[in-house]
Amino acid sequence: MNFFTFLPVARIAEIEATDKAGGTKPEAQRILAEEATRLVHGEVALMAARRITDSLFHGQLENLTENDLEQLAQDGMPGVQIEKSAGSLIDALVAAGLAKSKSEARTFIQSGSVAINGQKADAIDHQIADDERLYGRFTILRRGKKNYGLVSWQ
């Protein structure tokens, strides 16, 4: 099976020409990633990858299924497993690699750059509650706009 069977050379040339002519964000990398995902994992996995990406970057985490979160935990997002009894937001940020220390985690929280499942968190003593565990098992932490961590609760 040849990659070009799925993406003809003429289509590649068209994408390249469009990227060169347009003053917008290049699309070649996204298209190549989608085609590679389709080739390796199939159409269903490509649709799931699109749903996950759209949900994360548009703040619509309610669109994520339990299977999507399991996939993220497996290979899509840096994450950590934590005991449910240890629900401190500060500890979770450090464990997930979103802060180097508890002091740094406090600073991030106080500056308003931390979100739990898309909702800003501003209390340094915040304990992650059961309703912040998606499907009772997952919490998505974000620091800033692009730094994500997935907590899998044990």
> Could you list the pLDDT tens digit for every one of the 154 residues in the chain?
444 456 677 877 787 787 778 777 777 777 777 777 777 777 887 888 888 877 877 777 777 889 888 888 877 778 888 988 888 999 999 999 999 999 999 999 999 999 999 899 989 999 999 999 999 999 999 999 889 999 999 8
Q: What gap in Å lies between CA 90 and CA 72, rounded to an integer?
A: 22
Structure tokens, 149:
């961590």
Predicted pLDDT of residue 70? 86
Predicted pLDDT of residue 90? 96
| Residue 102 lies inside a defined structural domain of this protein | yes
| Residue 36 lies inside a defined structural domain of this protein | no
Pairing between β-strand 147-153 and β-strand 79-82 as defined by DSSP bridges: parallel
| Residue 10 lies inside a defined structural domain of this protein | no
- Residue 98 main-chain phi, psi, to 5 deg: -90, -10
Pairing between β-strand 147-153 and β-strand 138-143 as defined by DSSP bridges: antiparallel
Query: What pTM was estimated for this model as a whole?
Result: 0.74
SS3 track for 131-150 = HHCECCCEEEEEECCCEEEE
Candidates 65, 97, 66, 100; CA nearest to 79 is 97
| Residue 18 lies inside a defined structural domain of this protein | no
Domain count, the chain: 1
| Residue 103 lies inside a defined structural domain of this protein | yes
| Residue 128 lies inside a defined structural domain of this protein | yes
| Residue 138 structural domain | 42-153
CATH number of the domain that residue 103 is part of = 3.10.290.10
